[in-house]
Structure 1
Amino acid sequence: MTTSSASIRRPKPVTARLAEELAVGEGQVTAAVRLLDEGATVPFIARYRKEVTGSLDDGQLRTLADRLTYLRELDERRDAVLTSIREQGKLTDELVDVLMSADTKARVEDIYLPYKPKRRTKAQIAREAGLEPLADRLLADPTLVPDQVAAEFIGAEVGDAAAALDGARHIIVERAAENAELVGQVREHFWQHGTVRSRAASDAVAATPKAQKFSDYFDFSEPLTQMPSHRVLAVLRGEKEEVLALSVDGGEDAEYQAMIARALEVDLTAGGAATPWLAGVVGFAWRTRLSVSASVDARVRLRLRAESDAVTVFARNLKDLLLAAPAGNRTTLGLDPGFRTGVKVAVVDGTGKVLDTCAVYPHQPQKQWDAAKATLAALVARHGVELIAIGNGTASRETDALATELISEIRAAGAAAPTKAVVSEAGASVYSASAYAAHELPDLDVTLRGAVSIARRLQDPLAELVKIEPKSIGVGQYQHDVTPGILARSLGAVVEDAVNAVGVDVNTASVPLLARVSGITETLAESIVAHRDRTGPFRSRRALLEVPRLGPKSFEQCAGFLRIRDGEDPLDSSGVHPESYPVVHRILDRAGVTMAEIIGNQRALRSVRPAEIADERFGVPTVTDILAELEKPGRDPRPGFTTASFAAGVEKVADLKEGMILEGVVTNVAAFGAFVDVGVHQDGLVHVSAMSDRYVSDPHEVVRSGQVVRVKVVSVDVERQRIGLSLRLDEKTRAPRKEPAQRSAPRRGSDQRPRRDAATDRRGSGSAGGSMADALRAAGFGR
């Protein structure tokens, strides 16, 4: 029975489905969807529309926005399929019900498959030759003799009985392959019982150096449902690099053939004359069609799951890195380490403005140790340097030793010495060569721009890292193997949330930073900076409305996240949105104090009851947020600044000994553990099993990227450059549980350098000579 468009029963509204998935009220979802459709951003809705959405947080809103897109696309595809089948005159009430209950795009496509316009298949050719009745008769009566029945169909288009049976087989196989219920059942069974297997592509390939990092997968298997994302992406990369041969095994063929037989209503135990032929058709359907599609689907599903997990890990690490403690607006000397090309040096003031640059050559082959130290001492004295930022790449430990010696001798001279810190230089080279860096630092050589970036990222990691494409920051897990679009969307959301959580000083922010603020596009960010350069600093948030193309809607979205320090209105430096300023004045009236008296006045603020201030537009959640903001206006959610102290004399993997307790910095957190930089150019792994005395399911429960931790060395493999660490300082010296092909992070620099054991190793022919005391006095210390 066909059906009309008027009688089609629609699925639940998208808002109802989202409410069920998120376990929240449909009214909350409806309000959030309306705001998103009106162009509101997730940070704005989460922060300033709590009354409307029932206080949905940014995580819930991100999930809602993603699922909203998916469900709308699902509904659009469902409607297109319905239209196509209706135009064919094949739409029935039963088919409508099945389509309306489909909850995934894959399910819709399975249902549509028999009706989807396609090229002429062997089954279609057989139907045109009149062989469909033969297939129907053999399926209906297994007592028939196939050759005898097939002989009745010999004709101009069918040469003999064998050709007739072959055509009938293709028809039956296509029916099985286009049975949506069967395909779904086979797909799920294959996923639940399947296994990934990998081996070396060949003995010759296995012997090559590039294959060694995949050696753990030369004879490897693991169930599909249990394989963690990092191993999935590892074997997929090995396959892509033609080192590994990968296959997916679904289990016993007999189980799938039984499913196919049931779907075709074939009794494989009937014992009729046609039973062997029908059993052969069932086996053929499994081998040539259903096993292939199930295997492909399992690989796709496996990759998507692995990508989702990898993106989640990357996003959490990126958030931790972006929200790392800023050292603050202090004059900083940035050092971009190197051997042959020297150490690039840049001094920036508290606002990040470049004051001085140069290069020094303290290491091999030049060995101008004292000359380099004297140059740095002069820069420290001349510019009042308070911080020294050292990139953690090649020659990092050697450069750190140079800075340590410099600081020690400055202190010995009786002067205030700067504080040093080793910072991640991931992405610094990408920034240096970028178009924005060329625009921002046009007069600097590419090599020196990296030193500037290193200095600035110590001052304010967030402000500097937003200039770099997120995937280039290097805190991910096989991030280069993840579909770029999926990664970009997720990481872009993380950056947006981090920037808006901290807030942005509109009078100092760069274009890339402003472009991450709610409601501000890159074009609008450029317009804001151009207006600022032309007319001077903004004195109020309202002055933003004078910026070309920044209209009321953009102002509404961005104003609360922009800060104006020392402006006309003290509220402009807070997280209070301008639309809520009248609420602040009601609070002042209720407390009986002035603006100057209320800010930071904990007693006065906590005496105000939010319910007495709230009205129809600004409810208790907003008033509560305003009171908290007035208590600590413009508060920075990031932690306080701390630095790690690397152990003296521990410069390469060979220097490590089991049992050592060291201080280090968490550089990356993966699903199986965390990588920690202990100052030897090769990160060590703290396996998840060595993180705590209790069971840890997610390493992020214990550590975060950028965190300073104390670890114990439990294993050292100098040959393979692998370091096993533990956060349990009473851990026995044993290797943590093995994780194939993912036991250590990529090396950041060469570990095959001779150790400096004597001063003569540091002072080559290019040394300035003389005492350091003389150099310090010349630089301006100890006067």
Structure 2
Amino acid sequence: MASSSTVKADKATPAWKIPEVISENVDVSLDVSFNVVKLLDEGATIPFIARYRKEQTGNMEVDKLREISSLVEELKTVESKIASVSAVINSQGNMSQSLNASLRNARTLHEVELLYAPFKPGHKGSLAERARKLGLEPPAMKILDGRLVALKQFINTEEKGLSNEAAVEIGIRHIIADFISKDKDIMNEVRRLCTNSNVTIETSQSKTTSKVKADKENEKKVKDFKKPKDQSYKFEQYFDYKIPVKYIQSHQVLAINRGEDKKILVVKVIIPDFVKNKLTLFSHRKWIHHNTCDQARILIQKSVTDAYDRLIQPQMSRLIRSDLTKKAEKESILVFASNLNSLLLTPPVRGKTVLGVDPGFSHGCKCAVISVTGQILDTFIVHLNYKSQNTFEDQQKIIDAVNKFRCEVIAIGNGVACRETEKAIGNLIQKKRFNVRAIAYCIVDECGASIYSVSDEAKKEMPQLDPSLRGAVSIARRLQDPLSEFVKVEAKHLGVGMYQHDISESRLKTSLDSVVEECVSFVGVDINTGSECLLRRIAGLNASKAKQIVECREKNGAFLNRQQLLSVKGLGQKGFEQCAGFIRVLHDFNDPDIRQKCEETAEPECDSEVSAKSGRGRKRKAGTTRKAKKIKLDENQAPNPLDMTAIHPESYHIAMSFLKELGMSVLDIGQSRFIDRVTQEVAVKGVEKLAKSFEIGEPTMKLITDALSKPISYDIRDSFDKPLFKEGVTAIESLKVHQKLTGRVTNVTNFGAFVDIGVGQNGLIHVSQMKEGLKGHSGLQLGDHVDVEVINIDIKRQRIGLRLIRLTSS
């Protein structure tokens, strides 16, 4: 009993620590792993860790931090599973020291499930459970031990399953087979054998779908019948398909899964006989020994065969499919995340009045003129693409709007009637019908615009505007500031990946939401102009806190500095720490009034006082003093120039000390003379020397110097590819093989990249057609401009094959 009590006491405590497992699996040092896990447990967000805790993470990138965060959650789930399984086994009185040790050392849910399998209550309808209810488990265990059992003593002619000796034997075999199929050693061995053998996936068309298709092909009621309603044509390549598991791609797995769900495909996992033969020998060596009686030998051999055919092989088939699906989902989510990141970081087109056009046929093209500040100046509807007697008048409406508001760019949505609208606008530009000196047009991704136009956010923002016109407003604003507009739409509706309906919705949402948070945070948001949608995406904030910020702004006027965030209801010190560095409070310090206000409320403070209050600052040898004074801005009344930078408030004292040594004023941040002086100091001394001088980490010093050496208008998105402004219009029918074109990547998948080449249908660069030296498909990102060559055209199926020549920009 003492031993049992000891087992129960530590049943739920894993023998491993999460940081140790992270260190082993993600290839980071134990110290870094411990720091990251600690930060995550304390509630730190990934953007905050990535930017402001580089010393603790070893300059770890966001993608790796996200991977660690996901692994931490998985390991916590394993911890919870170990605790619940231990509790169940203990309640049964079946816990042993060896089992407890195995449970405590298990690191995956699969390992825990294998250990729990022999003790899990069986399904009431299973053959083994039925046999157990008949009292056949004791003789079954004796036979498994190699002992002789008189089967006749268990015969009961009035009981089904015990009517004769043969029935008793079958029941005993079912129990032994069930025991073998749940044995941890057996399952580990079969997994090893399957991994090292040529397991294949075979797919074929289901008989039901084939019959439906045949019936529809014979049906003559619909003359121009092209695509059967059963959509089976989409899976034709898998109607007679076979591929080794080790070579199957993630997109193929997801496509096969979808075809199976729709009852179009029949999928089989073919495990070679080699696995069965090897596993049978392994099982015999484990349970059949020299002293095993003949009766037990025969029954065990039959039970092993039954266990494999009826239980183990189907279980392994399910496990292989499950592993493939998990891997495919993970890879697909990574593609989604990468594409979304590129889409959100599309550079804005600033300082231009834009005419947004939401194309349409019968209902016309919805148009909206948007000012440089995003205000709606005019809205109207024209019919450019529909047979109408008013075509000339409608064209004149476009011309008048462009000329009246001096629009510089026309943004055309890429949905239905896009190419027809593009052609009409292109003709007007070519004929110089506009009086403005320069006018261009651009195709804008309108995915999710229709969803946004009927959302509560759109109703609140544009209450008097018809929903159809709201889409045109969104299209124009997506060109002016893509990030601010895209965050209004749930990420899964932005069309940045494939097979999203075949992926775990919760996992996809978690990953995409994380990417949105990172992009918004790293770009930064002006707290006095940022929308509620944008603010809620900042690291450390949420919907309720963003709402409180907006309400506070509306009630009390514009925020003067970051410190005033602490007065927002519900935003405590922890939330402030997480979000402060990503929020900007922009002021024009060239304005005499603002400059005077800042100077009037500034008060000198010595370094020692700052150190005492903040717990930070430069250390000084005992007995020494320093005459230099540091400026402390009255946080309740004055703007703070540092609030316009990416420097976190916790590092303001370092930034101020640095500027004091340079003899520069914090009020001149962003000016060219200021930037030149900071840049010169960094070039002469180097970041490493400066970091040692201020006794801080090199990453923090680099962040401070980088922030101070950039203009206030600096935007990380400026380094990405600009939107593609096109001049010509082409139809798919006019394409020719070997023709060379320029296009823009609109989607990236595991099997290739889709490119908009301006013909109304995206072309596909398959991975096999990507030039060496560009890292295959992983070298292309959504938004890249590329030179391509047409290699094949299928007008009937609207498919265009392309070969990548080169990236025209990076």
Who is 1:150 aligned against? 151
Q: Residues 295 and 613 (structure 1 numbering): CA distance in 2 closer, same or farther, change over 3 Å?
A: closer
Q: 1:66 offset after TM fit, Å?
A: 1.3
CA contact (8 A) 1:362 1:368 kept: no
Higher relative contact order (CA 8 A, sep 6+): 1
Separation of aligned partners in 1, 2:281 and 2:489: 52
Who is 1:534 aligned against? 555
Partner SS, residue 86 of structure 1:
helix
Who is 2:791 aligned against? 714
1:671-730 per-position Cα deviation (integer Å, ceiling 9, x unaligned): 11100011222111011122214484x4121x2111222211111011111101111279
| Residues 1:400 and 2:422 are matched in the alignment | yes
| Residues 1:498 and 2:578 are matched in the alignment | no
| Residues 1:66 and 2:88 are matched in the alignment | no
Who is 2:175 aligned against? 171
Give the alignment's TM-score, normalised by structure 1.
Answer: 0.86
Which one-letter code corresponds to 1:561 in the other structure?
F
Identity over aligned pairs, percent = 37
Who is 2:486 aligned against? 465
| Residues 1:237 and 2:258 are matched in the alignment | yes
Which one-letter code corresponds to 1:655 in the other structure?
S
| Residues 1:282 and 2:304 are matched in the alignment | yes
1:41-73 per-position Cα deviation (integer Å, ceiling 9, x unaligned): 111111112223333332222122111111122
Q: 1:273 offset after TM fit, Å?
A: 6.8
1:732-753 per-position Cα deviation (integer Å, ceiling 9, x unaligned): xxxxxxxxxxxxxxxxxxxxxx
| Residues 1:194 and 2:194 are matched in the alignment | no
Who is 2:657 aligned against? 586
1:560-595 per-position Cα deviation (integer Å, ceiling 9, x unaligned): 111122253322221111221211111112112223
1:21-60 aligned within 5 A: 21-60=25-64
CA contact (8 A) 1:503 1:563 kept: yes
Which one-letter code corresponds to 1:228 in the other structure?
Q
Q: Residues 264 and 152 (structure 1 numbering): CA distance in 2 closer, same or farther, change over 3 Å?
A: farther
Which one-letter code corresponds to 1:225 in the other structure?
K
Q: Select 1:313's aligned residue among 328, 335, 339.
A: 335
| Residues 1:525 and 2:532 are matched in the alignment | no
Partner SS, residue 71 of structure 2:
helix
Separation of aligned partners in 2, 1:174 and 1:480: 36
Partner SS, residue 4 of structure 1:
helix
Who is 1:628 aligned against? 706
Q: 1:206 offset after TM fit, Å?
A: 4.5
Partner SS, residue 716 of structure 2:
coil
Partner SS, residue 805 of structure 2:
coil
Indicate the larger mover: 208-217 or 517-526: 208-217
Partner SS, residue 352 of structure 1:
coil
Indicate the larger mover: 337-346 or 202-211: 202-211
CA contact (8 A) 2:788 2:803 kept: yes
1:508-560 per-position Cα deviation (integer Å, ceiling 9, x unaligned): 21111111101111111112122223333323222323333222222221111
Separation of aligned partners in 2, 1:554 and 1:179: 49
Indicate the larger mover: 338-347 or 96-105: 96-105
1:109-120 aligned within 5 A: 109-118=113-122, 120=124
Who is 1:728 aligned against? 805
Who is 1:354 aligned against? 376
Who is 2:778 aligned against? 700
CA contact (8 A) 2:118 2:182 kept: yes
Taking only aligned residues, the RMSD between alpha carbons, in angstroms, comes to 2.7
Partner SS, residue 509 of structure 2:
helix
| Residues 1:418 and 2:496 are matched in the alignment | no
CA contact (8 A) 1:392 1:425 kept: yes
| Residues 1:344 and 2:366 are matched in the alignment | yes
Separation of aligned partners in 2, 1:317 and 1:612: 38
Who is 1:123 aligned against? 128
CA contact (8 A) 1:331 1:347 kept: yes
CA contact (8 A) 2:409 2:439 kept: yes
| Residues 1:658 and 2:737 are matched in the alignment | yes
Separation of aligned partners in 2, 1:234 and 1:395: 29
Who is 1:765 aligned against? none
CA contact (8 A) 2:409 2:440 kept: yes
CA contact (8 A) 2:16 2:105 kept: no
CA contact (8 A) 1:643 1:708 kept: no
1:104-145 per-position Cα deviation (integer Å, ceiling 9, x unaligned): 111101101112234555435534544345435544559x7x
Q: Residues 374 and 411 (structure 1 numbering): CA distance in 2 closer, same or farther, change over 3 Å?
A: closer
Separation of aligned partners in 2, 1:256 and 1:385: 75
Give the alignment's TM-score, normalised by structure 2.
Answer: 0.84
Which one-letter code corresponds to 2:205 in the other structure?
A
Q: Residues 620 and 373 (structure 1 numbering): CA distance in 2 closer, same or farther, change over 3 Å?
A: same
Who is 2:722 aligned against? 642
| Residues 1:265 and 2:322 are matched in the alignment | no
- Mark the runs of 5 or more structure 2 residues left unpaired by the alignment: 217-227, 589-638
Q: Select 2:759's aligned residue among 680, 690, 696.
A: 680
* Number of aligned residues: 721
Q: Residues 421 and 10 (structure 1 numbering): CA distance in 2 closer, same or farther, change over 3 Å?
A: closer
Who is 1:769 aligned against? none
Q: 1:491 offset after TM fit, Å?
A: 0.6
Separation of aligned partners in 1, 2:10 and 2:758: 70
Q: Residues 259 and 359 (structure 1 numbering): CA distance in 2 closer, same or farther, change over 3 Å?
A: farther
Q: Residues 647 and 351 (structure 1 numbering): CA distance in 2 closer, same or farther, change over 3 Å?
A: closer
Who is 2:225 aligned against? none
CA contact (8 A) 1:583 1:613 kept: no
Partner SS, residue 727 of structure 1:
strand
Who is 1:444 aligned against? 465
